[in-house]
Structure 1
Amino acid sequence: MKKLGRILLIDDSEADNFIHLRRFRKLKIADEVVVRMNGREGLDYLTTPLPDGSYPRPDLLFLDINMPVMDGWSFLDTYQKLPAAHRARVTIALLTSSKGDAESIRADSYTVLDGHESKPLHRDLIHRLLITFFPDRFDRASSALH
């Protein structure tokens, strides 16, 4: 199993961030997990150059929809206009508590979204996402995911 380089988690819920960070660390699936508390902070992170002149490009981005300052929908409106070099390789929107029909339809309208899931992320869901979007790095037999 080859770890992901970076996961970006954009969510204003400290409780959810605590749970998700703990799960990611326990599963040892990424070298780095970056947390930003709202969509504006997430966009700033993605568009601020690193010391070498490149931009941070997460392998995986998890996005909450309901946040202050800039919600997930507003983030996505701006994010989809960014050059690919500023976007994550895989973007998943986390819809707060459940995936309602209106939210699902709206999420489906964003071509930059690779999927949408309900919070909180549990181990089996993380495993499924990893083997779906990163089959060259994770497979059903990946011991770290069990």
Structure 2
Amino acid sequence: MIPVLCINDSNINLFVQKRLLLQSGITDTVITASDGQEALDYYSKLTETSGSNYPRLVLLDIHMPKVDGWEFLERFSQLYLPSFEETSVIINSFTVDENEINKAKDYPVIIDFVTSQLTADYFRKLALPGLHNKVL
């Protein structure tokens, strides 16, 4: 099973995502962060411990205060992706325009851009463990 990181400023969305991930059976470890900065701080601590049990999947909201999803992606790609290269990101955002979907295609780490409610079945259908199966 792979650890999963959920980054979202909505406690309700984090609760639902965590529940769906656990129900899907793809993970027994869900880490949550309420914004991009909290997630970047988490990765900073991981680099200090150099653990191999890092999240291989990140669920990312785009529209957040402080550090939004795009800024997280930019900084994560530059600072941490070389150390955590097996990471795949799924953007889950309900308010999206075509420019954001096109922008997501510029990030190889993003494997999907989901604009609807995620389901346990969606997670079960992900090709694990390597992920990196780009749907975009």
TM-score, normalised to structure 1, is 0.76
User: Is the CA contact (8 Å cut-off) linking 2:37 and 2:72 kept in structure 1?
Assistant: yes
Tell whether 2:42 aligns with 1:45. yes
Among 88, 91, 95, the residue aligned to 2:89: 91
Partner of 1:33: 30
Residue 91 of structure 1: SS of its match in structure 2? strand
Among 56, 61, 76, the residue aligned to 1:79: 76
Partner of 1:140: none
Residue 110 of structure 1: SS of its match in structure 2? coil
Residue 43 of structure 1: SS of its match in structure 2? helix
Partner of 1:24: 21
Q: What CA RMSD, in Å, does the superposition of the two structures yield over aligned residues? A: 2.4
Partner of 2:57: 60
5+ long unaligned stretches in structure 2: 132-136
Which digits, 9 at most, give the CA deviation of each residue in 1:62-115, with x for residues without a partner? 110000110001111111102421455212122x21553111111111222222
Identity over aligned pairs, percent: 29
Report the Cα distance in structure 2 between the residues aligned to 1:17 and 1:32, rounded to whole angstroms.
13
TM-score, normalised to structure 2, is 0.81
1:49 CA displacement: 3.6
Report the Cα distance in structure 2 between the residues aligned to 1:77 and 1:18, rounded to whole angstroms.
26
Larger radius of gyration: 1
Among 81, 95, 108, the residue aligned to 1:111: 108
5+ long unaligned stretches in structure 1: 138-146
